[in-house]
Amino acid sequence: MRRLWKVGHEACGLYATGNRRPGGLVVLALAFALLALGCPSSANAADSFVRRLAQRALERGLAQEARGDIAQALTSYDEAVRTDSTLGAAALRLGSLRERMGDRAEAELLYTHAIGARETSADAYYARALLRNAAQERASALADLAESVARAPRPERLQLLGTWYVEGRSWPAALAVWRALLAHATEAGDGPALREARVTVAALSWLASDTDPVQAGASSPDWVRRSLARAVRRAQGEAQGVRKLTP
């Protein structure tokens, strides 16, 4: 197998340099056959080289921004984005600087670009949500924030999403978010966050009582809501019983 791999490399070099020997059709056919068996491609190496160049430009920009050299940081981030358009972190940092400079339209374009990269999509949705919220585009901002939370449910972003739902008087949605925060605080053992979440859930449960199956479902004319309410209350009672029996 090693010999075949070596022959394949030689065939690749032979074909690439145009150094064809007599019997060109036979040699060419052999070269293509060996290419199919695994002649190494330069595409991966080229992609890796381009990504390294872009990453270096990004790191240079981060250092420049950290020391307050914003003009040079802009140049470095722009170089990184132009070198490798798939490097979402560079588009995200460039968008942030553009936003700070007051160029909101360009910043939104860059955040949208960064959404396409898997590793930065959640942060890019969050950045675009804040940008759109500042521009009073509440509906699109809320949609972006919800998408960011769906991709990376960080507590601080969940809390902001709950706040925005409260401001929009979307009580059931806010209640769902704060119940998630309550579960997170309980799991983390965060006392202050747990107390805040409990108070907020209690208040939102009252505000959402007309639509919350846990609070109002038992008396609802809809049999689905009544069944859901009974199931939820039964689960809550069982959970409380377990907690009482736990030393």
Q: For 81-120, how does the pLDDT look when each residue is reduced to its tens digit (9 = 90+)?
A: 999 999 999 999 999 999 999 999 999 999 999 999 999 9
Per-residue pLDDT, 54: 96
Per-residue pLDDT, 244: 40
Per-residue pLDDT, 47: 81
Helix extents (H) in the chain: 2-17, 24-36, 43-66, 70-83, 88-100, 104-115, 121-134, 138-151, 155-167, 171-188, 191-207, 213-216, 223-245
Confidence of residue 222 (pLDDT cuts 50, 70, 90): low
Residue scoring higher pLDDT (148 or 225): 148
With pLDDT > 90 as the criterion, what percentage of the chain qualifies? 60
Average of per-residue pLDDT across 22-31: 44
Give me the sign of the Cα torsion angle 227, 233, 203, 181.
Answer: negative
At 43, is the secondary structure helix, strand, or coil?
helix
Confidence of residue 229 (pLDDT cuts 50, 70, 90): low
Which domains are seen in the chain, by residue range? 58-152 (1.25.40.10)
CA distances from 75 to 43, 65, 155, 192 (A): 27, 11, 34, 44
Task: Report whether 88 contacts 120 (CB < 8 A).
Answer: yes
At 55, is the secondary structure helix, strand, or coil?
helix
Q: State yes or no: pLDDT of 151 exceeds 70.
A: yes
Per-residue pLDDT, 224: 56
Task: Report whether 149 contacts 121 (CB < 8 A).
Answer: no
Q: Look at the pTM and tell me if it is higher than 0.75.
A: no
Q: What is the CA radius of gyration of the chain?
A: 29
Residue scoring higher pLDDT (7 or 81): 81
Q: State yes or no: pLDDT of 160 exceeds 80.
A: yes
Confidence of residue 212 (pLDDT cuts 50, 70, 90): low
CA distances from 65 to 72, 102, 113, 205, 247 (A): 8, 17, 21, 46, 54
